[in-house]
Amino acid sequence: MIQNPIELGRKKMKKIDKDSDKGRRSGGRAARQALRSAPLARELRPVKPGLLGGYYNPLSQEEVIKIHEAALHVLEEIGLADAPESGVKAMTDAGAVLGEDGRLKFPRKLVEKMLSLACKDFSLHGRSAEHDLLLKKNRVHYGTAGAAVHVVDLETNNYRDSTVSDLFHAAKLADQLDNIHFLQRPMVCRDIKDNFEMDLNTVYACCSGTSKHVGVSFTEASFVKPIMEMVHKIAGDKSSWLQRPFISNSNCFVVPPMKFATESCGVMEECIKHGMPILLLSAGQAGATAPAPIAGAIVQAVAECLAGVVYVNSIEKGFPAVFGTWPFVSDLRTGAMSGGSGEQALLTAGCAQMHRFYNLPGGAAAGIADSKLPDMQAGWEQATSNVMAGLSGLNLVYEAVGMHASLLGFCLESMILGDDLLGQALRCVKGINVDEESLSIETMKSVCLQGPGHYLGHAQTLGLMQTEYIYPNLGDRSSPKEWAENHKPNLLIKAKEKKKDLLASKLKNEIPLSVRKDIIGKFPIHLKL
């Protein structure tokens, strides 16, 4: 009779625990579980920020060149409209050509020159140095993003308007979840009506909740300077900020197809003046504001972001900017956005390949669920695109957790579930280590020729329990019998409980109380801590 290998493994593990000699070697089941649960130093963890991806390439090298050439052709022949006067001057001084129709055209030589000047790698700093993210080649980092206008309330299974408190809670969770490496604002503070106060409080809530890198946007260019006064206080002073800018500007500098977003460009110029790294974000929607073919959507996104590279480097050569090709997918039956589709996963992976081709730090969207709740549909939608984005070597995977209803709703519990999901995605990114030790020839000789005929208690197995394997925090791997004995734990209930625990905990690197009091005394702060 053929035995179930899982049950066989469980029986052998129990035997090890009962055997005094082997039990001492293994430490017993409780000891092993404690070992797996104990936090490891960052350098020993099986997954961590900046793992090297790039193993998956949906495009051949020939196809990459075709997309590159098409993007250059589009920039030369179509160009972009609606640049602000300051941008027109900067780019024409650099070599762009302003046509009678008001569109800026970009000669190939200009694009190639600006690519040679562009910053090839840099760090996105955290407020704490332990959270610094090196953007280089195919290093992978996962984080949040988006501008959801609703919170998914799992207590009622309803959607409600998102608030500044919700944003702070998202930041606080992100700060404590290891596989979320940065926080770009995932929600809009809909309880704050004034745009300046909303932008100000967005920055304050994010920085109050986490010491990881923060990404934000600004409604108007005039808002940047006064908000930077607050940021300098958080940093300690202006000099400290310039040495370690821990906030980046998520800037939708284009309105696809092939138009500059005039007001956002003004914001971008102002952020550059203040030393804030830029995310050049092109977010066309295939079949709506970008061509329907996946290749065509990538061409347009690449062309628009190349125009952004010219723009940024015509203002300040080598300024840190992320090549943010973010094309989205439409369900062509309805025209609705479909962020959880396989096509979206392919788009993102293809864009990652293009930023690697240009050797520029790149970011794109993955992990979006069209599902309205954190259910099985959300699971497959989030997992597919997150794994493909990581394997493709995308530097910054935005919107990786928490986002539902095609970016309309954000769920705090889904962040916690997503942390588990990202752990598995990162393990895929890490890949397979092949060396003399991992080939295990000597281990096999020992087990098969002199040993018990299994590897459960072997020193190699025990030594790799935490460094080679990753274990879910909430995911359940027990047998049906054990599951029943544990009162049939429910994943969403566990996520709710963990959310409460994390939100009740004290943050490790809070903004000092004296600084908070100073800020509250000088700025219209709505967040109540």
The H-or-E segment that residue 104 falls in is strand 104-105
Q: CA neighbours within 13 Å on the CB side: how many for 380? A: 4
Which residues of the chain are under the pLDDT cut of 70? 1-41, 43
In what order do the strands lie in the sheet containing 328-331?
Answer: 285-286, 328-331, 336-337
Domain count, the chain: 1
Q: Kindly state whether residue 445 falls inside one of the protein's structural domains.
A: no
pLDDT for 5:
45
Q: What is the C-alpha to C-alpha distance for residues 235 and 213, in angstroms, rounded to an integer?
A: 13
pLDDT for 21:
42
Whether the pTM exceeds 0.85: the reply is yes
Q: Kindly state whether residue 440 falls inside one of the protein's structural domains.
A: no
Cα 281 vs. chain centroid, distance in angstroms?
Answer: 14
Q: Kindly state whether residue 41 falls inside one of the protein's structural domains.
A: no
Q: Kindly state whether residue 17 falls inside one of the protein's structural domains.
A: no
pLDDT for 467:
84
pLDDT for 335:
85
User: Taking every pair of C-alpha atoms in the chain, what is the biggest distance, in angstroms?
Assistant: 87
What are the backbone dihedrals phi and psi of residue 38, each rounded to the nearest 5 degrees, phi first? -65, 135
| Range(s) of the domain holding residue 335 | 52-61+69-430
pLDDT digits (tens, 9 = 90+) for 62-120: 999 999 999 999 999 999 999 999 999 999 999 999 999 999 999 999 999 999 999 99
Q: Kindly state whether residue 477 falls inside one of the protein's structural domains.
A: no
Cβ–Cβ < 8 Å for 415, 399: no
Q: What is the C-alpha to C-alpha distance for residues 120 and 359, in angstroms, rounded to an integer?
A: 6
Domain with residue 104: its CATH number is 3.20.20.480
- Report which of 100, 106, 53, 30 is spatially closest to residue 75, judged by C-alpha positions: 106
Cβ–Cβ < 8 Å for 248, 215: yes
Q: What is the C-alpha to C-alpha distance for residues 422 and 417, in angstroms, rounded to an integer?
A: 9
Q: Kindly state whether residue 436 falls inside one of the protein's structural domains.
A: no
- Report which of 498, 399, 514 is spatially closest to residue 146, judged by C-alpha positions: 399
pLDDT for 31:
59
Q: Kindly state whether residue 134 falls inside one of the protein's structural domains.
A: yes
The H-or-E segment that residue 111 falls in is helix 108-117
Q: Which residues contact 471 (CB under 8 A, 6 or more apart)?
A: 36, 477
pLDDT for 1:
41
Q: What is the C-alpha to C-alpha distance for residues 335 and 7, in angstroms, rounded to an integer?
A: 49
Q: Kindly state whether residue 4 falls inside one of the protein's structural domains.
A: no
Q: Which residues contact 203 (CB under 8 A, 6 or more apart)?
A: 214, 216, 227, 230, 231, 247
